[in-house]
Amino acid sequence: MRPIQAEAFLAVLESGSIIDAARRLNRSRTTISAAISALEDDLNAELFERSGKSVHPTDLAWSIQPDCMRFLHTYRQILARCELERGGIETTLRLARDDSLPEAFWLEAMRSLKQRFPLTGISVYLAPPQELPALVSSQTVDIAYGLDLNKHADNRIAVESLAGLRLIMVASTQHPLSRLPEVTPEDLVTHTQVTLAFVDADEQLVPDILNSSNYLALTQYELIRDAVMEHAGWAWLPQPLVDPAVQNGQLKLLKTANALLWQEFSSFHFSTDSKGQVTLRLEEILANYLTRFN
């Protein structure tokens, strides 16, 4: 079966006549009639009963309609995917990200991308920021987005800053540190720090902390934020995640000289790889969102 045969068959079946089918497909009556006859010859089956200029579908014709529709749909998808490649649009995109930006933002970003590029398959993997470069280096993903917290050993990986992002030192408003007029380094050490946990190069789960055993390490910023809001300790957290909780009085910026810390929100990808249109559009969305916090 050829696509033109399936197209002609479905048009005649749905319109009820060769004339209407030809008009619908913007083809000649002869072309439509020849396509139907060729299909019947290929299938060795009668699909339409002919009476003068009239055609009447057989029961067999109606029974194969769903299969012909699926065949034509698949063919058109193949054509569309080939067109994507020629136009620089990725057919698939595997990306990793951290959760330094709110989930609501990412859901809207993915919805927007799929609306604009419906034939691109997008897979998203959530990981701590320290693991992002390794996911690209191992070719587990095509590109990653998040805070640049590592020293990078793989010089094949290009790191491109999209914007600076504040990390803010916070605790719950009921936490003892929030009641102090000034918080010293000694005060911080005596209270639990809630920090990131990640898998290092030796495949060990380690906390992102130095010179202290008083910590609670979790793999996501949102889990850290929720733990801090439940008075589990203090933490450095990305501004986009804590602004609402600070504004409604659940979290408080600690009064210390190092309460604000700038980090780069970056993309990680192989330096030899060119970015397709889906990736470039995602980076536009990210850059526009991040300008709110600069």
CATH number, domain at 13?
1.10.10.10
My answer on whether 109 and 61 are in the same domain is no
Task: Write down the pLDDT at residue 231.
Answer: 95
Task: Write down the pLDDT at residue 86.
Answer: 64
DSSP class per residue in 238-291: EHHHHHHHHHTTSEEE--STT-EEEEEEEEEEETTPPP-HHHHHHHHHHHHHHG
My answer on whether 73 and 115 are in the same domain is no
C-alpha span between 10 and 8 (Å, rounded): 6
Task: Write down the pLDDT at residue 85.
Answer: 67
pLDDT, tens only, 3-58: 889 999 999 999 888 889 989 888 898 999 999 999 999 999 999 998 877 889 99
Residue 3 identity:
P
Task: Write down the pLDDT at residue 87.
Answer: 66
My answer on whether 94 and 118 are in the same domain is yes
My answer on whether 74 and 175 are in the same domain is no
Task: Determine the longest span between alpha carbons in the chain, in angstroms.
Answer: 98
Task: Write down the pLDDT at residue 290.
Answer: 94
Task: Write down the pLDDT at residue 53.
Answer: 75
What pTM was computed for the model? 0.73
Domain final residue, candidates 54, 86, 118: 86
Domain tally, the chain: 2
Residue 146 DSSP one-character state = E
For the chain, which residues score pLDDT lower than 50? none
